[in-house]
Amino acid sequence: MQRAIADRRLVRVAYEGAARSGPSVLLPLVVGSRGARWYLLAAPARNGTADLDGIRTYRVDRIIALDVLEEHGAPPDGFDGPALWRRMVEEVEGLRGEARALVRVEPWALRALRDRFGRQGRPVDGRPHVVEVRAQSVPALAEQLAGWADAIEVLEPTEVRRALRELGERIVRRHRDP
């Protein structure tokens, strides 16, 4: 993929993802990682130039076949790959961060929790051991926090505290001794 980007060659990919599956001819523009995952930013080529209106993010582990084609393509004049990557990261993080909670974290677990949440976990100024964490939804946030039960207390909002309690109750019901 990196060679195709460097040589400005089009690629045909078969991709299995939520939005689309099947072969597509694309101009690969940027490859980057977010944590342990690698992503490709690519766009369809129109008359040899990347159509940035059609740009899309592809998880590399969902590309099931890749052929580098003989045809060449180019990004449009003034294309700024690093800026595009930053914008994509901000958009994805925004989607992931619609639900939020403030949690008090035991000092021994602070670093591990912040590592786990990455950009979606940030310290709250003036409140030692309090971290704001985010996820795409309240249930998803509760699920992510459940494993930290001995290390955190959700301070707010009530919706996350309720979702965490309900999750705990479901776990207890499911795993009661017969």
Q: What is the pLDDT of residues 80-120, one digit of tens each?
A: 888 888 888 777 766 666 899 999 999 999 999 998 888 78
What is the residue range of 128's domain? 97-174
Q: How is residue 123 written in tokens? A: 């310290």
Does one domain contain both 111 and 131?
A: yes
Count of domains in the chain? Answer: 2
Does one domain contain both 87 and 103?
A: no
Q: pLDDT exceeding 70 applies to what percent of the chain?
A: 93
Residue reference for tokens 């776990």:
171
Rounded Cα distance, 148 and 110, in Å: 11
pLDDT in tens, 16-74: 875 555 568 899 999 988 777 888 898 888 777 788 888 888 888 999 999 999 999 88
Does one domain contain both 126 and 79?
A: no
Rounded Cα distance, 55 and 51, in Å: 7
Which of these three, 64, 94, 124, is where a domain ends?
A: 94
Rounded Cα distance, 106 and 99, in Å: 22
> The pTM is what?
0.57
pLDDT at 22: 57
Residue reference for tokens 């995952």:
37
